[in-house]
């Protein structure tokens, strides 16, 4: 089965995540519950081909050498996904998360106003840290969107991978993906 077809099915179902693992059917998380995307289990060859297909030659080489790789992909509909391809028990596995195209506002995220005030700073360094899934990328995207919407600035990001795509508003945003657009 083609991995990009699975992504399309996931979008149709409103899946937040898709999991690809050998000896298991492809699984989507829809409204917090796991749903099989097909009944048959995936073979070693299936997961290998899917990993190769979704990563492309350059990222697949990194996957083979380092045992994991992160990237973002888009499908024809314009929907975007964050992909973590990795090796587990000698086989390939893939965790895919849907990336919303809408950048959430600070108010929606429930972040304190002091965080939004960082967008007004002209100098300094802001570190956003936390475990996987804690909202680091979303927080930064929201902060960049505030700057982009309110100030005539040229914003350059270095991301691995690019999750939220920013369009020029009052500012100009250029996004560079580490490994694709720049080495580091």
The span from the CA of 41 to the CA of 129, in Å, is 37
Instruction: Compute the distance between CA of residue 38 and CA of residue 142 in angstroms, rounded to an integer.
Output: 36
pLDDT grade for 180, boundaries at 50, 70 and 90: confident
**Residue 184 clears pLDDT 90, i.e. is over it:** no
pLDDT band of 170, cuts 50, 70, 90: very high
- Class of the CATH-defined domain 3-99: alpha beta
- As a whole number, mean pLDDT of residues 40-62 equals 97
Please give the pLDDT value at position 4. Answer: 97
Per the CB < 8 A criterion, the answer to whether 55 and 83 are in contact is yes
Q: CA-CA-CA-CA torsion for 73, 78, 81, 85, nearest 10 degrees?
A: -30
Coil, strand or helix at 114: helix
Give mean pLDDT, residues 97-122: 89
What is the Cα–Cα distance from 159 to 161, expressed in whole angstroms?
Answer: 5
The confidence band for 163, taking pLDDT boundaries of 50, 70 and 90, is confident
In this predicted model, what pLDDT tens digit does every residue of 10-20 receive, in sequence order?
999 999 999 99
Integer-rounded Cα Rg, in Å, for the chain is 18
> Could you tell me the pLDDT band of residue 122, with boundaries at 50, 70 and 90?
confident
Interatomic CA distance for residues 151 and 156, integer angstroms: 14
**Mean pLDDT value of segment 129-136:** 87
Q: Where in the chain is the domain with CATH 3.30.450.90?
A: 3-99
Name which residue leads in pLDDT, 94 or 115: 94
For residue 75, pLDDT beyond 90: yes
Distance CA(21)–CA(19), nearest Å, equals 6
Q: Is the pLDDT of residue 70 over 90?
A: yes
pTM of the model: 0.80
| Rounded average pLDDT over 156-163 | 88
């Amino acid at each position: 089965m083609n991995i990009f077809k699975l992504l399309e099915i996931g979008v149709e179902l409103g899946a937040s995540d898709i999991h690809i693992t050998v000896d298991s059917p492809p699984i989507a998380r829809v409204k917090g519950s796991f749903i099989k995307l097909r009944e048959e289990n995936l073979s070693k060859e299936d997961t290998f081909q899917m990993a190769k297909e979704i990563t492309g030659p350059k990222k697949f080489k990194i996957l083979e050498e380092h045992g994991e790789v992160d990237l973002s992909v888009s499908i024809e509909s314009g929907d975007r996904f964050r992909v973590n391809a990795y090796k587990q028990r000698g086989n390939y596995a893939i965790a895919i998360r849907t990336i919303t195209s809408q950048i959430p506002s600070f108010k929606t995220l429930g972040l304190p106003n002091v965080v939004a005030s960082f967008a007004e700073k002209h100098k300094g360094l802001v570190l956003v840290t936390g475990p996987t899934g804690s909202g680091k990328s979303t927080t930064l995207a929201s902060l960049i969107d505030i700057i982009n919407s309110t100030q005539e600035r040229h914003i350059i990001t270095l991301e691995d991978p690019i999750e939220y795509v920013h369009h020029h508003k009052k500012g100009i945003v250029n996004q560079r993906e580490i490994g694709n657009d720049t080495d580091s």
